[in-house]
Chains A and B, each alone.
Chain A
Amino acid sequence: MRIVEATLFALQIPFVEAFAHSVRSRSSSDSIVVRLRAEDGTVGYGEAVARPYVTGETVAGCLQFMERTLWPAVQATDYVPWAGQEEIAWLGSLTLPAEANETSGVVAWHGSRCGFELALVDCLLKAAGVSLGELLPPRHPVTYSGVITASSVEGAVKHAKRFKQFGLPYLKVKITGEADQERLAAIRAAVGPAVSLRVDGNGAYSVEGAIATCEALAEFHIDSAEQMIPRGDPQALATVQAATAISQMADESLITLADAQTLIAAKACRGFNLRLAKCGGLGPTLAIAELAQAAGIAVQVGCQVGETAILSAAGRHLAAYLPEISFCEGSYGSLLLREDLSRRPIHFGHRGLAKPLKGPGLGVEIQDALLEKYAQQTISLLAKAV
């Protein structure tokens, strides 16, 4: 099946409240939605998120890569609809380039690739009348974590109390090296001993700082420490892991399959944070998950802050399908965005629980009117006449 039209929507959807972590603070979501139309009229939606401090991609760079590299590749392909093939093999057959050249400052065009891959998967599965849940059958219910991002300790405690009121059993706390102990002490006191707490440093610490911080926070029973030190030498992360009892989780350090291999070889960490827009979409993420499983590394399904229902839906399918996940993030939907793109709400409910999505494709109905409403820039691409 041929794809005859692509539309790229660079969105800006305001957040209900501004969001901050150690690297960036934002007041709106800046996702790029990819809408593909197949020759039979079926439409599929994918989502890319550009994070300069993760993959090196910017919104403008993504749009350019999509237009110049991904769209020609998609146009040139006659896709085989899914008809029961093995999932990783079929997803792998959707060849989509993502390699970046060394000078671009981009690790890999994974956000961009993810946008196109999800749109293709949505489109091809919808054309076959199949849900992604048939390709990736759910093995267990999904429970989402709350993420506490407030910059002040007082604000962090407020958020912790909200999440406690919502019955969330797992919370992740963004830390920056400022008032970490005070923050964790206050949050632990607010949520009680039963709630699982973990931290994410977003690369704000040195090796020594990371080790000292893990030691200082141990009394608050931290279940995992994510990306304490910046992306770089896996040996450095291995040093942190060897020196602390808290499981280290790689996030920004884990973008490509090669990253996964070197992290495993260096025994750098005990957990991987898999994020679709960071790892390049479902195919590459599943490949990393397979490696992790074989190496005994725990996987968390992470998200992009400000993602819309499209990435949330794909993340939900992934999380339910993977044999075992340590934690799951995402599906904040209208809890974070002033308006989400799906007709029915995607966000989780009490205790962080969310139902599997059963509709065709990714299982969410995207409202085109909202794409137009929030688009800052729209690029229409038509297939060249054959």
Chain B
Amino acid sequence: MITLSIRPLIETHYVNQVQVFADSPWFQHLEQGQASRQEYDAFIFNLCQTHLKSPQILAFLYAVAPPTAAPQIKHNLLEELGLDQVAICHPDLLYQLATAAGFDGDRQTHLAEAAQAQIRQLCTDPLLFGTIQELGLSVLLEVTCFEWMLSRLASRIGKALAAHRGLPSESLTWFHHHSEVDIRHAEEGLDSVEQYLAYYEIEAEDLETILDITFRENIFVKRYFADLPAIAGAADENR
């Protein structure tokens, strides 16, 4: 009974997160070409900052993965690093995007530092959860939710950057990769979550609370639109 309801419960959160993001005035501005060049660039910066350290985050998830989920996460990690048969390093794709957007050496250094600062913060923030098991679940939920979102919106974002920010197609490979590839990833991500819950014997009630904590604000708005100026009507974005 309980196991059957887990997947739809998680999917409900993902659907809601993606919906709020896609409906947000920031996303609308970007997609409809109403954002300023500065706003497009801030978005590109934030997106790169968010995903540059994906290999590190996946390595953490690999470390805490149950044996059943470990091969899949390892595969994603190697893919991310370009160490699989496709041999495309995803952080490199993000630097291609940054270069095409005209980010100079200084700005790219700043980008790398900002991405590293997020890892540092993850380590210095006092831990609210009692064990790594809960932290690992929260990170896994966030990562798989990103994959879920990208599988649905990455190509729309890529198209918007081509149309309204004039970026050439070859600089948008990261978006192409994460749209088709991650439809599979997103489903596999949910498998991993289920395997994780079973392996660590996490109760449904705790899952619900950790979902609530992880998604108490919109994770995409938070990471992608952090420093964009407030848009009228956007103040109560998160409930």
Q: Is the CB of A354 within 8 A of B212?
A: no
Q: Is A158 an interface residue (CB 8 A)?
A: yes
Q: Which residues of A contact B121 (CB under 8 A)?
A: 345
- Indicate whether A165 sits within 8 Å of B236 (C-beta atoms), given known contacts A17-B216, A345-B124: no
- Indicate whether A345 sits within 8 Å of B125 (C-beta atoms), given known contacts A165-B206, A165-B209: yes
Q: Is the CB of A350 within 8 A of B129?
A: yes
What interface size band does chain A fall in? 20 to 34
Bound together, the chains give a CA A158 to CA B208 distance in angstroms of 9
Bound together, the chains give a CA A339 to CA B137 distance in angstroms of 24
Q: Is the CB of A18 within 8 A of B129?
A: no
Q: Which residues of B contact A158 (CB under 8 A)?
A: 209, 212
Docked complex: A142-187 residues within 8 A CB-CB of B: 158, 161-162, 164-167
B126 to chain A, nearest CB (A): 3
Q: Is A16 an interface residue (CB 8 A)?
A: yes
Q: Which residues of A contact B217 (CB under 8 A)?
A: 16-17
Q: Is the CB of B126 within 8 A of A345?
A: yes
- Indicate whether A350 sits within 8 Å of B216 (C-beta atoms), given known contacts A16-B238, A18-B239, A27-B236: no
Q: Is the CB of A18 within 8 A of B236?
A: yes
Q: Which residues of A contact B134 (CB under 8 A)?
A: 165
B213's partner among A18, A165, A167 (CB-CB below 8 A) is A165
Q: Which residues of A contact B216 (CB under 8 A)?
A: 16-17, 162
Q: Is B2 an interface residue (CB 8 A)?
A: no
Residue of A with least CB distance to B235: A27
Residue of A with least CB distance to B212: A158
Q: Is the CB of A348 within 8 A of B236?
A: no
Top 10 closest pairs, chain A to chain B, by CB: A349-B126, A166-B128, A161-B209, A165-B209, A345-B125, A350-B130, A349-B127, A16-B217, A167-B130, A162-B213
Bound together, the chains give a CA A18 to CA B238 distance in angstroms of 8
Bound together, the chains give a CA A164 to CA B216 distance in angstroms of 16
Q: Which residues of B contact A14 (CB under 8 A)?
A: 235
B238 to chain A, nearest CB (A): 6
Docked complex: A288-306 residues within 8 A CB-CB of B: none
Q: Is A270 an interface residue (CB 8 A)?
A: no
Q: Is B81 an interface residue (CB 8 A)?
A: no
Bound together, the chains give a CA A354 to CA B128 distance in angstroms of 11
Q: Is B64 an interface residue (CB 8 A)?
A: no
Q: Is A140 an interface residue (CB 8 A)?
A: no
Q: Is B10 an interface residue (CB 8 A)?
A: no
Bound together, the chains give a CA A344 to CA B213 distance in angstroms of 22
